[in-house]
Structure formats: structure tokens, C-alpha cells
Amino acid sequence: MLEVCVDTIEGAHAAVRAGAQRIELCYALSEGGLTPSIGLMQAAGRLPVPCYAMIRPRTGLFHFSMNEEQIMLADIDAARQCGLAGVVLGAQGDDGNLDVAMLERLSIAAGSLGRTLHRVIDVVPDQFSALETAIQLGFERVLTSGGKPTAFDGLSRIHQLFSHAGNRIAIMPGCGVTAENIDAVLATGVSEVHASCAEPVEGSVTEPNFSPSAGGRRTSETRVRQLIEAIDRMA
């Protein structure tokens, strides 16, 4: 299973054409991914593959206020009304651990929607405790780079999390997964992976007020297809 994260509807279509089996729908991947607009969610709801909306109302780490929780609850409802298959959640308490109470309320609001715990698990003090919490709350999967900057750097921890989880929850490596390193990623035992498959936009210019300092990036249909072909070879 390859999940591709996108922040435009053109990127979503490119990923689907190349064979992606699930979409993580975001806004501003340059900022780590924020909640997509209602219009983007509506468009993604018409795609032929399941789409999960990132529910993250701002940049920075994941200590959310009660006001921000209300925004997330409304965004979860919007994802449902737009026909999306699931949502991607995460929240930390003051001690840095998962905010269990808030995640429980968000999960109740999600109802029958699928749920992924995002890379908040990479910044908590104890990943294994957080994994147990995700299992208890009924999450389908955890997205993780193994607590490292990239999934390739965190392969050892990803394998440990996979072994600890057993068949109770899926462990989905993400961040820096490519056709060149997918063999090592899949060797951890996982059956789902997450990638952006993005490439720089040729000729893009930077403008401090309007574009990322590193220039524009977009989902590459070619890179998605290459990654799927590499996964198929491993299978």
C-alpha cells in the first residue's frame, strides 16, 4: 500500500494516475502539512481512491488549545461531509506525551472515519507508550520516521515499533521514502508506506511574500510510478 501526501488537486490526480492506493490530503506541505481547504476536500472526495485529510490547524508542534480543538472538530466534520475516508490526527499534552483526552474527543468526533496518528509520535518522549495509546484509541495506523529526520535514518526504530505493534495496528514509515531506499524500508516488515514523491518545479522563482524559499515543488507522477514499481518488485 502506497499512500502519497499531496497539497494540490493536480498532485492528487497525478498520484492516482500513477497508481497510488491512498491519498493524504494536506495544505502547505512546505510547512509539514496543514488542514486542507473545504474546496480541496470536496474535490478529493470525488477521487477513486480513499483520501485522508490532515487535521492540523497551524504550524509548529502539537500542543493545541481548546480553541484550536474546536477548529479541528469542525474540520473533521467537514472532511466527513466532503466524502473523505478518514482523517490524520495528533496532539500533545504539556508533558510532551500524547494528549489522550483531546485525541479521544477528536476520535469520537471522527466516528466511522478512518484515523491515522501522524508524526506527533516522532516527538513524544516514549514512542512505545504513544503506540499503545494509539492502539487503545482505535487508530488504524501510525505514520512515523522512527523518531529520526527521515524514515531511512529511523529504520531500526521503525522495525522495533512494527515488532511491538504485532497485528494490532499498522506502522507506516514516511519522510524521505523513495524508490532508491524502499527495499530497506520494506525490510522492516511493514506493509504500508507514505511518500510525497515530489520534485522541484522547473523554472520556479522564489518570492519572500508568496513562495517557499526553496522554490516550488509538485507531486511527480513519474516518481510515484517508480516507487510503486519498486514496491512491486519487492513483493
Radius of gyration of the chain from its Cα atoms, rounded to whole angstroms: 17
Indicate the helix (H) or strand (E) that contains 227.
helix 221-234
Average pLDDT over residues 211-220: 74
Phi, psi dihedrals of residue 215, rounded to the nearest 5°: 90, 170
- Provide the pLDDT for residue 211: 62
Q: Which helix (H) or strand (E) holds 5?
A: strand 2-6
pLDDT 10s digits, 71-124: 999 999 999 999 999 999 999 999 999 999 999 999 999 999 999 999 999 999
Question: Which domains, ranges and CATH numbers included, belong to the chain?
Answer: 2-234 (3.20.20.380)
pLDDT value for 181: 97
What are 126-153's pLDDT values in tens digits?
A: 999 999 999 999 999 999 999 999 999 9
> Grid cell 516522532 — which residue?
122
Handedness of CA 119, 125, 131, 135 (dihedral sign): negative
